Copies of this chain bind each other. A is one copy, B any other.
């Protein structure tokens, strides 16, 4: 297969949304999968390649600027003639659910770095490339952010997690307003439910069908966001299972 003229980056690939998004975007683009450990992306890369797609996995800590710079250098070498059409930020900081008085300042800072910090770094690398693609990309170049319920609600004992997610959403809004008029689509998705992965299936007690979110369904909405015409961009969507109370 000849190299594809456009590629997408999925930052934060595991068994859930990141994997499904990579597979969905690989139908049209080359895809670059970033994860902290090779085992997080190897199977997905192989699966895409086996289906005739073009995929590259890069071991990278997105929250670390040096590591991300190195990843973008690798991308430039591996895909020299391909342009960036979409970047999906799907990094999930682990969260400390604790009484506030047991938290440390380090846990607060880590939560922030894993979400708003890592996104900031990725966005600074990706936006110049997305701007370059505006005139030629088949769809408006897109920067898509995975948020959570904690992006809009600071629940008890979820303070540090929510602080990071609120900050991430703030950055997403600000970038949508700055880069939208330049033709880049910045969208934020509030994922309000448990995602179907081998791990969540093991602890979910629900026997209701489709009560946990199919990663493929989330990926389909991300693809829709990417393909929206620039006269009708969505800045924010929520996604949740039909049975979810909200």
Contacts and interface: CB of A to CB of B under 8 A. Distances in A.
Contacts of A124: 100-101, 103, 105
Interface string A159-191: 100111111111111110111110101000000
A231 B109 CA distance: 33
Contacts of A51: none
B239 A237 contact: no
A213 B230 CA distance: 8
Nearest to A124: B101
Given A196-B231, A234-B238, A242-B230, A154 B140 contact: no
A204 to B, nearest CB: 12
Interface in A184-207: 185, 193, 196
Given A221-B228, A229-B214, A233-B241, A177 B164 contact: no
**For chain A, which range describes its interface: under 10, 10 to 19, 20 to 34, or 35 or more residues?**
35 or more
A236 interface: yes
Interface stretch (A42-50, A74-82, A112-120): A112-120
Contacts of A165: 170
Given A241-B232, A242-B183, A166 B170 contact: yes
A232 B246 contact: no
Contacts of A224: 221, 224
Q: Which residue, of A155, A170, A229, has the highest number of chain B Cβ atoms within 10 A?
A: A170
A105 B128 contact: no
Contact of A116 (B108, B179, B213): B108
Contact of A154 (B155, B174, B231): B174
B246 A240 contact: no
Nearest to A234: B237
17 contacts: A100-B175, A100-B178, A108-B116, A153-B173, A155-B177, A159-B171, A162-B170, A162-B174, A177-B246, A180-B242, A180-B244, A196-B231, A213-B231, A214-B229, A216-B229, A234-B238, A236-B237
Given A180-B243, A234-B237, 17 more contacts: A100-B127, A101-B128, A120-B163, A154-B177, A162-B171, A163-B168, A164-B167, A166-B167, A166-B170, A180-B242, A185-B242, A217-B228, A217-B231, A220-B229, A230-B242, A234-B238, A234-B239
